[in-house]
Amino acid sequence: MKTAIFVAALMAAAPAFAQGTDAAPAAPAPATDAAPASDAKFNLDTPLQDIVADEKGKAVIEKHFPGMIALPEYEMFKAISLTQLQPYSNGKITDEMLAATAKDLAEIK
């Protein structure tokens, strides 16, 4: 039941951070060739709340997903990673968005 409520809330909120794209729903994220450096502080598997707690991390999330952390539903999904969130986004979080976010997160030491 909690999962159904979570998914419904996320679907309602997804357009707020979709950056105006009409892309088709994305397939599950493939393994990326650009693996984060071992000394990187964050990656796509880091819980959102941990990234947002860091000033530089928060800036990366706001850059790639403007308005996401301001959503009332953020409290429901902040404990999961972007990789875990993508399948629930109805295609609003694309592989391209994740790749760009991963690149910027990898630069945070």
The predicted pLDDT at position 17 comes to 54
Q: What is the pLDDT of residues 54-101, one digit of tens each?
A: 999 999 999 999 999 999 999 999 999 999 999 999 999 999 999 999
- pLDDT for residue 45 is more than 90: yes
Mean pLDDT, range 38-64, rounded to an integer:
95
Task: Write down the pLDDT at residue 20.
Answer: 45
**How does residue 9 score in pLDDT terms, banded at 50, 70 and 90?**
low
Distance CA 84, CA 62 (A): 18
- Cα separation, 25 vs 89, in Å, equals 8
pLDDT at 40: 85
Instruction: With CA atoms as reference, report the closest residue to 64 among 87, 44, 38.
Output: 44
d(CA 47, CA 42): 9
More confident call, 5 vs 62: 62
